[in-house]
Amino acid sequence: MFVDHVQVHVKAGDGGNGIVAFRREKYVPNGGPAGGDGGRGADIVFEVEEGLRTLMDFRYQRHFKGERGENGRTAKQHGKSREANVIKVPPGTTVKDAETGDILADLTVHGQKATIARAGRGGRGNARFATPTNPAPEIAENGEPGEEKTIDLELKLLADAGLVGFPSVGKSTLLSIVSKAKPKIADYHFTTIVPNLGVVETDDQRSFVLADLPGLIQGAHEGVGLGHQFLRHIERTRVIVHVIDMSGLEGRDPYEDFLTINQELEAYNLRLMERPQLVVANKMDLPDAEAHLQTFKEQVGDDVPVFPLSAATKDGITALLRAIADKIEDTPEFPLAEEDVDERVLYTYAKKEAPFTIEKDDDGAFSITGHEIEKIFHMTDFNRHDSVQRFARRMRQLGIDDALRERGAEDGDTVRILSYEFEFVE
């Protein structure tokens, strides 16, 4: 089964917890704090594996979790950090954030890696908190939570040229003639239901990768037919090879077919029309094809290169392949994401995200949310009084106490952080 789009959930490993410990050895007075730090968790890393061709494996495993860092130990021993969780993907995989739509990585080369979710650092042990005024602290941090994301994986085939056109115009037949690919060929529409790749070699020893995409029909960009599922695969191609049935045996007008397919490509992605396009006038061995070809050339004009061809008799193959190879050499790659080519450094003011927000719930309780306060909360060990006091000081430093008073909080009111509840004390 060919799978080219999946949604998965990734969770990087949390950091290990720091611990509270003291040096207690015979004949060693005033040993002092000796709690070690926790280790860093495991990152979630995607790596390109050229042997893969689809995203099939992700149909059966949709959740990936990094290992948690080891907790700190006594005698100031740090916990072990974890190796990254490396996930293999096929060349041509684009990784997007499912919530924002931002492209996180575009993986095309064998061995290329990208860190998709970063692990949390380890919490500090009590040896880190010793000061002249508090030489024996009973404070230790929990590990920082690792990043958690829902991501979309899209596979876009790495092909130099792509065959497009209506169903049954001869795309699969052409691919089977010019390469060793063996696509399914039959005399009914939508015989090809998955993209096919073939390596083509010209008579002058040049080679390129050609993709046969399932037939497009009118409305494909809106989800009609099969072609809309595979339009993404043409985004990486440098040259579009537009195959047209010039015989008109099915009652369609070749020029109308040409306009319809180009409208679908433009509606899907405007940048597709920037790519050079070669038109293949196929099935020239059939009756009326010559007459239709002359009319077609008059309608499209001299700016559109047209190559008469008969896949059945193999006439015109050599000239077409040479033209495709020439056009590929002259055409640069098209980046999937817009790149800023301005090398100047522009300093702008960006408002810092608020460390917290406060909302009053229907039951009268005050809910506190925000990345910074939630991170501090997760890293606090509430089993130790000193850690709780430190958390209370951090809340005051962030201005949460004053903000609660401004919102009308009184002694004894309930305050929520995540799923935990506290009592507001004046």
Q: Where do the domains of the chain lie?
A: 1-156, 161-330, 357-423
Residue 335: is its pLDDT beyond 70? no
Residue 226: is its pLDDT beyond 60? no
**Residue 194 annotated as lining a ligand binding site:** yes
**Residue 212 annotated as lining a ligand binding site:** yes
**Residue 311 annotated as lining a ligand binding site:** yes
pLDDT value at residue 72: 95
Say which residue, 354 or 17, is predicted with more confidence: 17
Residue 225: is its pLDDT beyond 90? no
**What topology is assigned to 357-423 in CATH?**
GMP Synthetase; Chain A, domain 3 (3.30.300)
**Residue 360 annotated as lining a ligand binding site:** no
| pLDDT, mean over the chain | 85
- Output helix, strand, coil percentages for the chain, rounded to the nearest 5: 25, 25, 55
14-18, 217-221, 245-249, 384-388 — most confident range: 14-18
Rounded to a whole number, what is the distance in angstroms from the first to the last CA of the chain? 64
Say which residue, 350 or 123, is predicted with more confidence: 123
**Residue 215 annotated as lining a ligand binding site:** yes
Q: For 224, how many CA atoms within 13 A lie in the half-sphere containing its CB? A: 10
**Residue 368 annotated as lining a ligand binding site:** no
Question: For the range 410-419, what are the long-range contacts, defined as Cβ-Cβ under 8 Å and sequence gap of 24 or more?
Answer: 413/364, 413/365, 413/366, 414/363, 414/364, 414/365, 414/366, 415/365, 415/366, 415/368, 416/361, 416/365, 416/366, 416/367, 416/368, 417/367, 417/368, 417/369, 417/373, 417/374, 417/377, 418/374, 418/377
**Residue 282 annotated as lining a ligand binding site:** yes
DSSP state at residue 186: -
**Residue 284 annotated as lining a ligand binding site:** yes
Give the pLDDT confidence of 78-117 residue by residue, as tens digits: 999 999 999 999 988 999 999 998 999 999 889 999 999 9
- Helix H segments across 30-92? none
**Residue 312 annotated as lining a ligand binding site:** yes
Instruction: State the CB neighbour count (10 A cutoff) for residue 53.
Output: 15
Q: Return d(Cα 196, Cα 95) in angstroms, integer.
A: 22
Please give the class, per CATH, of domain 161-330. alpha beta
Residue 50: is its pLDDT beyond 70? yes
What residues contact residue 99 under an 8 Å CB cut-off, 6+ apart?
149, 150
Residue 191: which pLDDT band, with cuts at 50, 70 and 90? Answer: low
pLDDT value at residue 30: 75
Residue 295: is its pLDDT beyond 80? yes
Q: Where are the beta strands (DSSP E) in 73-121?
A: 85-89, 93-97, 103-107, 113-117
pLDDT value at residue 186: 53
**What topology is assigned to 1-156 in CATH?**
Spo0b-associated Gtp-binding Protein; Chain: A, (2.70.210)
Average confidence (pLDDT) over 218-229: 54
Residue 222: is its pLDDT beyond 70? no
pLDDT value at residue 341: 40
pLDDT value at residue 346: 64
Q: State residue 234 phi and psi, 5-degree precision.
A: -90, -10
- Determine what percent of the chain is predicted with pLDDT higher than 90: 41
Copy the structure tokens of residue 32: 């002092």
